[in-house]
Amino acid sequence: MPKVSYHLHEPEDLTSCVVFASPHSGRDYPWTFMRKTVLDERSIRTSEDAFVDRLFDCAPQFGAPLLRASAPRAYVDLNRAMDELDPALIEGVRRSGHNPRVASGLGVVPRVVAGGKAIYRGKLPRVEADQRLAQIWVPYHAKLQELLNRSRESFGEAVLIDCHSMPREALETGGGSAPRPQIVIGDRFGASASGLLVDRVEAAFASAGFIVARNTPFAGAYTTQQYGRPSRNQHAIQIEIDRSIYMDEAAIKPNKDFHAVRKLLRGVILEIAAMGARDQRLAAE
């Protein structure tokens, strides 16, 4: 079991209602898990949003907290509902309806990593899956909701920026002459955040020189669906960054542009955090 569920980095002075989170950058791979997987150390990391937490680690300097996962996505996927259990992996789970994420092996306890590579040879006991959820999933989401509640109480609204990365191949759909996006903003097609807020976040990335798209190919999953409540002044936006612009995807290492991309993102993070300052209304009418 990973030592802790998450790491929380708080600002010295909370000045923004924005909460940054990185649920898929965890890299604490317990030896008990590595002993069970049939994959090598590199393959098991292919579904990890490697280094995303480092790209956003300046958020506390600008008055906003950063919550980052400790456990890896291959162990527990924090961007899935607690009941998205895979009957093909977990003993005693009954099939109920069709869930495309679960069917593809990407439930809350994943069966595969990127490319559909199986993590295990056989099934896992239900008690083990429940233990992972109790010790990893539950504390992370309890803390995330606590941070959002604090923002609403302190500022009158809360904004979650859920930070992810996407493999280059996910953008290589072929056809068309439009440049491939480097940033994909997901708001579940307008359901998880106010349009004005999403416009301002998109403008921040575009002003920094990034090519930005919305909701295609990623519109947001459990986190944006669960926490995006614009009518209650709680907004959730998913950010996907093209991995190829900052890392060597094959080697899972930062590339030569890592520091330049991180510097550009620093300006974007500053601007987004400033939108949530006490004297501004992020989703002002």
Residue 123, Cβ density class (10 Å: 0-12 exposed, 13-18 middle, ≥19 buried): middle
Per-residue pLDDT of the chain (285 residues; tens, 9 = 90+): 778 999 999 999 999 999 999 999 999 999 999 999 999 999 999 999 999 999 999 999 999 999 999 999 999 999 999 999 999 999 999 887 788 999 999 999 999 999 899 999 999 999 999 999 999 999 999 999 999 999 999 999 999 999 999 998 777 655 566 789 999 999 999 999 999 999 999 999 999 999 999 999 999 999 999 999 999 999 999 999 999 999 999 999 999 999 999 999 999 999 999 998 866 655 444
270 touches 208 (CB < 8 A): no
Strands 18-22 and 66-69, how do they pair? parallel
Distances (CA, A) of 204 to 22, 77, 132, 223, 284: 19, 29, 37, 22, 17
6-74+129-275, CATH topology level: Aminopeptidase (3.40.630)
Q: Where are the domains of the chain?
A: 6-74+129-275
Q: What is the pTM of this model?
A: 0.94
One-letter amino acid of 207: S
Directed axis angle between helix 258-275 and helix 195-207, to 10°? 150
DSSP 181: P
49 touches 21 (CB < 8 A): no
